[in-house]
A and B are shown apart, each in its own frame.
Chain A
Amino acid sequence: MDRRRFTAGALAATGLAAAPAVAPRAAPAYRGPNVIVIRFGGGVRRRETIEPATTWAPYFLHRLVPQGVLIPRLGIAQLDGVETSHAEGTLNILTGRYRAYRNRAEGAEFDRLEPVEPTLFEYFRRAFDIPAYQALLVNGEDRPQEEFLSYGIHPSHGVAFKSEVLSLYRFKLWSLRARLAASTGTDAEIAADGQALAKLEQKGVRGVAPAQPPEIQAMWARWRAHWGDSGLKNPRGDAALTELALWALRDLRPRLIMINYQDPDYVHWGNASHYTRAIARIDRGIERLVAAVAADEAYAANTLFCIVPDCGRDANPLMSVPFQHHFNTRSAHEIFALFVGPGIARGRVLDKPVDQTALAATLAAAMGFRASRAETGALSEIFA
């Protein structure tokens, strides 16, 4: 994509924005680039990622950054009510707006942030004829609350245009339901499965999580055949997210996929090395994903990567573990982004302050639709 095509795409998308609330289902087929959004998540600082002397992500910084456009001064705005946290930052990326959520914790252990504005997935599926299993969100196993990121409640979009979620949580739901449907095992085993399923469902994915499309269920069946369903053989933590994303690329052929890494957040509990080791783990995950795309003919020349943290982390000089992220320090607002792929300039540094909410409009423009509710415009400078 060049600037002219970018502008033309954005203008064409303007018409889509004016479309009626219920989209005609005869939406056009999608012919744009595949997009892989990688949340360098769990909150990371620039210091441990994009600063050469102190990075823990050597592949990302030394090999991938030279292939695209680095935005080293991406930031989260200092506004009242803007939190530097994971779901909040992810929704900034997905909706192109701050505070575009309502909290449906309702006594649950964790916040459940439900988008009140359309997400990229909804814009995308409303604009094009894309099945839900090709607009995917890959979530961590112990963050079922991030199921809420898969769609919003805006009247013009919403559940009809949702993304599907891949996570070990979803796999467990599928596996238990499949076992109960097959009614195999003793009465005690069936009862135990029923209890386990009820417990999982209580973790709350907007009530009871609906069954996923057959294509995803088929992938879960292959996953179980390969890894079993004990949860003890498959990769764990953020390595599991990489594995799920690789399986999805092979089996589901997604056109838009977001991978929500999160392991750096373990530093909350005081082992500083968990933070740096987790960054290195994500770095290896990115390397595997880029390699898988390069090795796949359908993806190789037609896939755009956008890598961006959900939030930064603090630099509290009073603490032995200075990098928490809930205390609104400047460095918790300081992040970065990298765009790599077809039509993106190579080896460019966009060295100006850019808002995290600009990513939604930019990705939408690259894909040929308009994120009409985004509050920040697209970045035309990243295109070649």
Chain B
Amino acid sequence: MSATDAAGPGATQPVARQGAPWGLLSVLGGLWSRAVAILLALHPLGAILVLGWLMRLMQAETAEARACLAQGSRPRRAALPGWLAAGRVEATGRLGRLFGGLWLNVGHGLAALVTLAAGTLPFTLLWLLAWWGGWENSFNKGYEQSWIGPTVALVGVAIALPLLARLPMALAHQAAEGRMSAFFARRPVARLMRAAGWRYVALAALSALAALPLFALQGLPVFVEGWRPGFAERSPQEVQRFIDGYRLVATAYLVLATIALRRMAARLYARASLALETGPGDRGRAGPSALLRLVLVWTCWLAVVAQVFVAQFLNHQWAVWLLPPLAGLPWFAPLAPVP
């Protein structure tokens, strides 16, 4: 894999540091971009656009990090991609530059949706079916088949750990390469994970920590009478206002945390890909240390899976089974019917 390959065919050029007035504009632009992302992610269809935008961000972040690392400097954060406009490298022509970003968000979003579905449905569907079937059987006292629900759930967990462990690197690989098949490149992704070293363990640990607030946000409504006494007595309008605000806060956290984690994954990808190209030949090889790191990464993701199951015991939502926290579509499963 070459540096050009890793940067991807449509990668954004590294962005030079800006002067003070431009810096302020850049900050305001970043806030605006994040606000748009949060608002779009309130709806599952908008969340697909956000997914595409995040893929473009990873692409840009990878390019920026590779450029910095190649010069021996610390990776800088890439500018957030535009929601409507495309970068110079991403699109040609006036119209393409003006509105190409939207088209790219749609395209990357759909592509990532497909690869994420392929990468997560093998276990999320098992979880969903295990929960439905297991409790359905329990309700009907089907003692003869009582083992099926828990067994299917555990098989789902066993499948989930390796798939979740590779997911951040596989997404970064897909973003950098700009093609869906890169997500499924088993050996290259495995080599990149090994080459990323202990930083990849840290990313998994951060993912587990970052999922905790989402766990809390799912569980808190159960105890609403504890922190908002008399909530059930509120008018439907008041309840809806509360739900809207709650969902906005939850979505804001989800989007901001996902941005941070995807940036981190992209920088790790840049380091790992550069290391594989320029480092000693044994980088990315399997060994005891790599195995230990892999076990730790799996353990971190097991903590995420545990959060999913405990949260579902607290406050069950069917959609949550299909949306592993911070690893799926950036959409907070609704508290009430989707608007």
Contact = CB atoms under 8 A, between A and B. Distances in A.
B139 A266 contact: yes
User: What's the dominant secondary structure at chain A's contact region?
Assistant: loop
Interface string B185-213: 00000000000000000000000000000
Contacts of B231: 316-318, 329
Interface in B285-339: 312-313, 315-318, 335-336
Interface string A258-295: 00000100100111001001100000000000000000
B213 to A, nearest CB: 17
B22 interface: no
B242 to A, nearest CB: 8
Contacts of B315: 319-320
Contact of B139 (A232, A237, A329): A237
A328 B225 contact: yes
A315 interface: yes
Interface string A310-345: 000011111111001001111100000000000000
Contact of B222 (A232, A270, A319): A319
A236 interface: yes
Given A274-B135, A316-B221, A330 B140 contact: no
Contacts of A353: none
Nearest to B335: A318
Given A271-B132, A324-B222, A317 B239 contact: yes
A231 interface: yes
B19 interface: no
B232 A317 contact: yes
A314 B239 CA distance: 15
Nearest to B234: A317
Contacts of B318: 270, 320
B139 A271 contact: yes
A318 B224 contact: yes
B127 interface: no
A269 B221 contact: no
Contacts of A263: 139
A327 B226 contact: yes
A274 B139 CA distance: 7
Given A270-B131, A330-B232, A318 B336 contact: yes
Contacts of B223: 327
A320 B141 contact: no
Given A231-B143, A266-B138, A327 B131 contact: no
A329 B243 contact: no
A320 B135 CA distance: 17
Interface string B109-141: 000000000000000000000011001101111
Interface in B80-94: none
B243 A237 contact: no
Interface string B149-175: 000000000000000000000000000
A237 B140 CA distance: 7
User: What's the dominant secondary structure at chain B's contact region?
Assistant: helix
B136 to A, nearest CB: 6
Interface in B226-252: 226, 231-234, 236, 239, 242-243, 246
A319 B221 contact: yes
Contact of A320 (B132, B143, B313, B317): B317
B282 interface: no
Nearest to B239: A317
A329 B225 contact: yes
B63 to A, nearest CB: 42
Q: Which of A266, A270, A274 has most B Cβ within 10 Å?
A: A270
A324 B143 CA distance: 25
A212 to B, nearest CB: 24
Nearest to A240: B141
Contacts of B138: 266, 269
Nearest to B223: A327
A154 to B, nearest CB: 33
A314 B232 contact: yes
Given A236-B140, A266-B138, A271-B136, A316 B224 contact: yes
Contacts of A331: 232
Q: Which of A315, A321, A327 has most B Cβ within 10 Å?
A: A327
Interface in A129-172: none
B243 A318 contact: yes
B140 A320 contact: no
Q: Which of A236, A317, A328 has most B Cβ within 10 Å?
A: A317
A34 B222 CA distance: 42
B225 A271 contact: no
Contacts of B225: 314, 316, 327-329
A278 B139 CA distance: 9
Contacts of A320: 315-318, 335-336
A315 B136 contact: no
A319 B318 CA distance: 12
Nearest to B240: A317
Q: Which of A231, A318, A328, A331 has most B Cβ within 10 Å?
A: A318
B324 to A, nearest CB: 18
Interface of B: 131-132, 135-136, 138-141, 143-144, 221-226, 231-234, 236, 239, 242-243, 246, 312-313, 315-318, 335-336
10 contacts: A266-B138, A270-B135, A270-B317, A277-B139, A317-B234, A317-B336, A319-B335, A327-B223, A327-B226, A331-B232
8 tightest Cβ-Cβ pairs between the two chains A and B: A270-B316, A236-B141, A318-B221, A329-B232, A269-B135, A317-B239, A327-B225, A266-B139
Given A232-B143, A320-B335, 18 more contacts: A236-B140, A236-B141, A236-B143, A266-B135, A269-B131, A269-B138, A270-B135, A271-B136, A277-B139, A314-B232, A315-B232, A316-B225, A317-B236, A317-B239, A317-B243, A318-B243, A320-B336, A329-B225
